[in-house]
Amino acid sequence: MSEIFDAIVVGAGPSGNAAAYTMAKAGLKVLQLERGEYPGSKNVQGAILYADALERIIPDFREDAPLERHLIEQRMWVLDEESYVGTHYRSNEFNKQPYNRYTIIRAQFDKWFSKKVQEAGALVICETTVRELLLDGERVIGVRTDRDGGSIYADIVVLADGVNSLLAKKAGFHPELEPKNVALAVKEIHFLPETTLEQRFNIGADEGVVIEMVGKITKGMVGTGFLYTNKESLTIGVGCMLSDFKQQQITPYALLEQMKAHPAIKPLLDGGEMKEYTAHLIPEGGYNAIPQLCGDGWLIVGDAGMFVNAVHREGSNLAMTSGQLAGQTVVELKTHNQELTATNLKLYKHKLDASFVMKDLKKYKNLPHVLHQNRQFVTSYPELVNKAAHEMLVVDGVDKKTKEREIRKSFVAKRSWFGLMGDAFKLWRAFE
Amino acid sequence: MHIVVCIKQVPDSAQIRVHPVTNTIMRQGVPAIINPYDLASLEEALRLKDKLGGRVTVLCMGPPQAESALRKALSFGADEAILVTDRAFAGSDTLATSFALASAITQIQKDMPVDIVFTGKQTIDGDTAQVGPGIAKRLGLQLLTYVSKIDGVDLDKGEIVVQRRAEGGAQVLRTRLPCLITTIEGINDIRFATMPNMFRAARYALKTWDAKTAGVEDLTKVGLKGSPTIVSKVFAPQTKAQKAELIDSEGRKPRDLALTLVTKLFTRHPKLRDEINSRAL
Ligand SMILES: Cc1cc2nc3c(=O)[nH]c(=O)nc-3n(C[C@H](O)[C@H](O)[C@H](O)COP(=O)(O)OP(=O)(O)OC[C@H]3O[C@@H](n4cnc5c(N)ncnc54)[C@H](O)[C@@H]3O)c2cc1C
């Protein structure tokens, strides 16, 4: 006879770990299944950790979590082929503890988080893929894994299986992911000595820098590039909408290669040795693409629920918070001897609505659409802005007033005044 | 029947990289795996158990992280797992390691006599192939190295028949139990663990033995003190690859081509020419 658990969590990424941790800590009998060799082995390496979400789950995480560097500087670059215009924001405020953002290596971080989950009492089993959900009518009663004797039962199954949740799809909870709702990101880690990194970015030990990039590097596709400093490596990557890749017939790999060759980026990578190359999907459909989040005996958390804030490149924090809220929901219902039915589990949805997760996603709900419809944001504007900067900075005997006029003219030539105003309004509306 | 399988956790040598500048070996981030030869041993042991019943105990000497290797072995179906771990063992060479493992096996015997001890032919990180024979010698076990197949075990007679890979062919050997077998790689595929075994492995209360529990009283026989081998330097050999040269064969006679090739070879390696010339005489 197979065992019965209070809860089965599928997936050991940030969302699954948060859910399993919360439930195990409250004394529930939790089983977590992960198909990777160990938690984190399947996860894209190198990321930014937003401390707040984790702090609410494990308040003293700073004591032993594998953190690379805390971020003290944020750069935003708008690039054309030859140059970039950008802002750098560095503040000593970011050097005051407790730090707010860190770079992490996901493989290590997820492993650490999983250790906490196990210490909290959950049974964590890796190298085991959940093939399908076991149903009794509408109700999810367990999972079937790829191993002999692999049917396991539980009162609730938490789907934390990441973007493109095959399980939810198979059970009919989830429609097929649309290419316009998901980005494909590629990432590399380049190994560089600590001292080189610190000199190159003008940072001290443990301090880090992140660079966000938009513009010509994405070849007219909606997307961003990013670069950040780990302890002794750099993470560099670029992500664009899957639908755009399909349309433009550019391979992600080629895109990253070209980005790395950009005159502003190349020197930053100089001398590094590429350690890893990974590609992963990011659900970026935003608020309007969120699927059904719960039903009889099941809940969806993290990427599987489309909880990614593409504008601020936040994902793991939404994943952890949604996992925690799902865990709390189950614990509360169980404590009050309430059944884990679709109706009762709506509590999860209410908790999400009241949290930053839904509030932020709601705020940007029109952005994906606006960007899709208005390519100028990633094509003409970067070029115009760079040209303008160039024009103003070159001292060539032309007076500044004439230069300004030329710049204005170049903008209007590309896009009518009306268009420019409209774009500004659209963006303002999307971000507002 | 009681089988002890000695396993070691090793860095996955397929993923070890050499630092391009310093030429040192980069261990960072290299996943740890069970030595592939040991996995072949474990599978043979499990097959014997499937046929004849009994108990399979896995034994590992290593740092605390080696626990994951033992849990993996349990998930495949091993019954018991013992981790022999002690600071005193750090730096042990093959002499010291075989001493510690032999002591541990002596302790295991107290619980249930051991019929067969398995080790891999060698480890992929040390490549010495000395630990298995070392244990056999210390415990007075019949030694069967390079085993590719176990033809049969007769428990009543206390006999085993195995096939052994030898130069230019295979040997079929019969000997009495207890014995120690070292296996070669590629003779089987490790099984896919069942769900119940995954549960059992995850929950198993691992036995952790320090030097004393493992029966090692004399600490000068283990660790650096007990290890006459000194690793003075680890480095990656310089790659000697030179640019290949393509000889155009378009419309040329074979004899002509062969001559060109030989001339080129001899010009580049005059020693080779001298040697062949001297033999030809
Ligand atoms: C290139 C890139 C860069 C990113 N950068 C950042 C960043 O800097 N900061 C940030 O906050 N977010 C970032 N994100 C987003 C972030 O990685 C995700 O939002 C987050 O990992 C989601 O967590 P999750 O637990 O929902 O899913 P995942 O982390 O994807 O975990 C899902 C887990 O489920 C397992 N699994 C799937 N199916 C099964 C199955 N059937 N059976 C068993 N196990 C299964 C998988 O192996 C995996 O371990 C980035 C994403 C990408 C792709």
User: Does any domain span residue B176?
Assistant: yes
Distance from CA of B193 to the nearest CA of A (A): 7
Taking residue B124's Cβ as centre, other Cβ atoms within 10 Å add up to: 19
Q: Are residues B156 and B281 in the same domain?
A: no
The CATH number linked to B117 is 3.40.50.620
Structure tokens at B20: 């391009």
Cα distance between residue B235 and residue A169, in whole Å: 51
List of chain B residues whose C-beta atoms are within 8 Å of the C-beta of residue A150 = 194-195
Looking at the fold, whether B161 and B250 belong to one and the same domain comes out as no
Structure tokens at A383: 């070029």
Contact call for residues A45 and A235 (beta carbons, < 8 A): yes
Q: How many C-alpha atoms does A219 have within 13 Å on its Cβ side?
A: 19
At A261, list the tokens.
């060759």
Same domain for B277 and B180: no
Look at residue B202 and tell me if it is in a domain. yes
Domain count, chain B: 2
Give residue B167's pLDDT band: very low, low, confident or very high (50, 70, 90).
confident
User: Are B29 and B72 part of one and the same domain?
Assistant: yes
Question: Are B247 and B170 part of one and the same domain?
Answer: no
Cβ neighbours of A278 in B, within 8 Å: none
Q: Do B26 and B121 sit in the same domain of this protein? A: yes
In ligand 1, which atom is closest to the CA atom of A308? 19
Specify if B227 maps to a domain: no
Q: Kindly report the three-state secondary structure assignment for every residue of chain A.
A: CCCEEEEEEECCCHHHHHHHHHHHHCCCCEEEECCCCCCCCCCCCCEEEEHHHHHCCCCCHHHCCCCCEEEEEEEEEEECCCCEEEEEEECHHHHCCCCCEEEECHHHHHHHHHHHHHHCCCEEECCCCEEEEEEECCEEEEEEECCCCCEEEEEEEEECCCCCCHHHHHCCCCCCCCHHHEEEEEEEEEECCHHHHHHHCCCCCCEEEEEEEEEHHHCCCCEEEEEEECCCEEEEEEEEEHHHHHHHCCCHHHHHHHHHCCCCCHHHHCCCEEEEEEEEEEECCCHHHCCCCEECCEEECHHHHCCCECCCCECHHHHHHHHHHHHHHHHHHHHCCCCCCHHHHHHHHHHHHHCHHHHHHHHCCCHHHHHHHCHHHCCHHHHHHHHHHHHHHCCCCCCHHHHHHHHHHHHHHHCCHHHHHHHHHHHHHHHC
A36 lines ligand 1 (CB under 6 A): yes
Q: Note the pLDDT tens digit of each residue in A78-102.
A: 888 888 888 889 998 899 989 999 9
Q: How far is CA B122 from CA A43, B47, B67, in A?
A: 33, 21, 20
C-alpha B88 to ligand 1 mean position (Å): 41
For residue B192, the chain A residue with the least C-alpha distance is A147
Enumerate the residues of chain A whose CB falls inside 8 A of the CB of residue B195. Answer: 2, 128, 145, 147-152
Q: At CB < 8 Å, which residues of chain B contact A?
A: 19-20, 29, 31, 192-196, 198-199, 202-203
Residues B264 and B213 placed together within one structural domain of the fold: no
| Side chain identity, residue A7 | A
Is the domain of B78 the same as that of B136? yes
Q: Find the domain containing B23 and state its range.
A: 2-221
Q: Is A43 in the pocket of ligand 1 (CB under 6 A)?
A: yes
Q: Residue A105: closest CA among chain B residues belongs to which residue? A: B29
| Domain annotation covers residue B174 | yes
Tens-digit pLDDT string for chain A (432 aa): 567 999 999 999 999 999 999 999 999 999 999 999 889 887 766 689 999 999 999 999 999 999 999 999 999 898 888 888 888 899 988 999 899 999 999 989 999 999 999 999 999 999 999 999 999 999 999 999 999 999 999 999 999 999 988 888 888 888 888 888 899 999 999 989 999 999 999 999 999 999 999 888 888 888 889 999 999 999 999 999 999 998 889 999 999 999 999 999 999 999 988 877 888 999 988 898 999 999 999 999 999 999 998 878 889 999 999 999 999 999 999 999 999 999 999 999 999 999 999 999 998 888 777 766 766 766 677 777 777 777 777 787 888 888 888 877 877 777 666 666 666 666 666 655
Domain check: are B57 and B175 in the same one? Answer: yes
Domain membership of residue B226 (yes or no) is: no
B234 domain-assigned: no
Q: For A361-375, what is each residue's pLDDT tens digit?
A: 998 888 777 766 766
Q: Is B268 helix (H, G, I), strand (E, B) or coil?
A: helix
Q: Whose CA is nearest to atom 53 of ligand 1?
A: A280
Tell me: do B139 and B268 sit in the same domain: no
- Residue range A4-66+105-175+291-354 in CATH 3.90.870.10: no
Chain A residues with CB inside 8 Å of B25's CB?
none
Examine the domain organization and report whether B81 and B142 are in the same domain: yes
